[in-house]
């Protein structure tokens, strides 16, 4: 009897796992080389319904926190161009790929309601799949790495 109960618990756990809505989220944080503190930070999500990337970010300089910004890009090349324009190439960035479990934390078809603060509140080390700190954006391979993760956002499914 103990074996059948154990098997039943395993099957229930598996069912719960299959029903989770997992979502890959890319986070890029620029570190100001002079102040050694985060400057520009953004989350990137791929919206499966709209077939576009959502970029939600915020800039913080010293004690001044900028306004949240949110933009959309249909093409990966446009997104890469945008990222190149907002990050200072002399600074290093931290790149983290998260798995948000039980995503989305909102009603269906409300991805446009998400903002930087909401995404930031959902972040913790347990959700981190991989992270690289101190990446120099002047290195061509760094942009290849970011491109690879953007493809993952688009093509890797739960």
Question: What pLDDT was estimated at residue 61?
Answer: 62
Between 140 and 106, name the one with better pLDDT.
140
Q: Model confidence over 78-114: pLDDT tens digits?
A: 999 999 999 988 899 999 998 877 665 544 445 545 6
pLDDT band at 62 (very low <50, low <70, confident <90, very high): low
Q: Judge whether 82 and 44 are in contact, CB under 8 Å.
A: no
Q: How does strand 92-100 pair with strand 23-31?
A: antiparallel
Q: Is the pLDDT of residue 58 over 60?
A: yes
Where are the chain's structural domains?
Answer: 21-155
Residue 33 token pair: 């080389």
Over pLDDT 70: what percentage of the chain?
Answer: 71
Q: Model confidence over 63-87: pLDDT tens digits?
A: 557 778 888 999 999 999 999 999 9
The region, left, alpha or beta by phi > 0 then psi within -120 to 50, assigned to residue 51 is: left
In this prediction, residues 45-69 reach a mean pLDDT of 81
């Amino acid at each position: 009897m103990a074996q059948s109960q154990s098997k039943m618990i395993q099957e229930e756990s598996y069912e719960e796992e299959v029903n989770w809505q997992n979502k890959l989220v890319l986070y890029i944080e620029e570190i100001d080389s002079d102040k050694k503190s985060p400057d520009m930070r953004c989350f990137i999500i791929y919206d499966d319904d709209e077939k576009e990337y959502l970029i939600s970010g915020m800039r913080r300089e010293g004690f001044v926190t900028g306004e949240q910004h949110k933009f959309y890009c249909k093409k990966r090349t446009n997104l890469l161009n945008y990222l190149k324009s907002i990050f200072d190439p002399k600074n290093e960035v931290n790149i983290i790929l998260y798995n948000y479990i039980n995503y989305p934390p909102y009603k269906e078809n409300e991805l446009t309601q998400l903002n930087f603060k909401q995404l930031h509140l959902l972040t913790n080390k347990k959700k981190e799949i991989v992270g690289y700190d101190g990446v120099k954006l002047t290195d061509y391979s760094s942009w290849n790495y970011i491109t690879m993760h953007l493809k993952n956002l688009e093509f890797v499914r739960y």
